[in-house]
Amino acid sequence: MLILTLVCSFFVVQAQKVSNFKLEDTESNPREYELLKGEKLTIIDFWATWCKPCVKAIPELVKIQEEYKNKGVRMIGISCDGPRSVSKVGPLTSTLKVNYPILIDFNNDLMREYNILSLPSLMIVNAENKIVYFHEGFNSGDEEELRKKIEQLLLKNE
């Protein structure tokens, strides 16, 4: 039953489009998706400070952002930390030298809207705001799979 649920949620997420959303960043400034998204692709990473695989993934995502920023790709981090851990988001992202916007989904409203069932979860959104790739979890080597997918999608857009 769990596999069926995961498969169903995967297809629901894949078929969705990302609508313009507004969340606060780590300095309480309201930020809007439409103003942050990439020209060709946007990678949205749902994560939390208490999630060890999430924290392990961030340095790889920082490298990917640096590699693809001049190719129309933008990364957006969505912290799903709650009241007990949200104060750790700013210091952690500073320590990890995060080079992309981090927004706070304090009540997990965005997480629920996109059926995010586990952290980390990452999705790639194309220029038409359609979710074209979804990945749950993080293991060493996943960053290479992500690079391959980005390259495929960029080639498709040319």
In a domain, 11, yes or no: no
The pLDDT score that the predictor gives to residue 90 is 95
What pLDDT score was predicted for residue 12? 42
| H helical segments located in the chain | 2-15, 33-36, 52-68, 89-95, 109-113, 142-157
User: Is 115 part of any domain?
Assistant: yes
Can you give the pLDDT of all 158 residues of the chain as single tens digits?
A: 434 344 434 444 445 899 999 999 999 999 999 999 999 999 999 999 999 999 999 999 999 999 999 999 999 999 999 989 999 999 999 999 999 999 999 899 999 999 999 999 999 999 999 999 999 999 999 999 999 999 999 998 76
Q: Which helix (H) or strand (E) holds 75?
A: strand 73-79
Which CATH number is 112's domain given?
3.40.30.10
**Which residue type, as a one-letter code, is found at position 126?**
N
Dist CA 102 CA 26 (whole Å): 6
The answer as to whether 31 is a domain residue is yes
Residue 1 lies in a domain: no
Q: Total domain count for the chain?
A: 1
Spatial neighbors of 22 by CB under 8 A, at least 6 apart, are 30, 31, 32, 33
Strand-pair category, 73-79 with 131-136:
unpaired
Tell me whether residue 134 is in a domain. Answer: yes
Phi/psi of residue 143, each to 5°?
-65, -35
Give the domain extent around 116: 18-157
Amino acid letter for position 140: S
Give domain status of residue 43, yes or no.
yes
Q: Evaluate whether residue 137 is within a structural domain.
A: yes
Query: Is residue 36 in some structural domain?
Result: yes
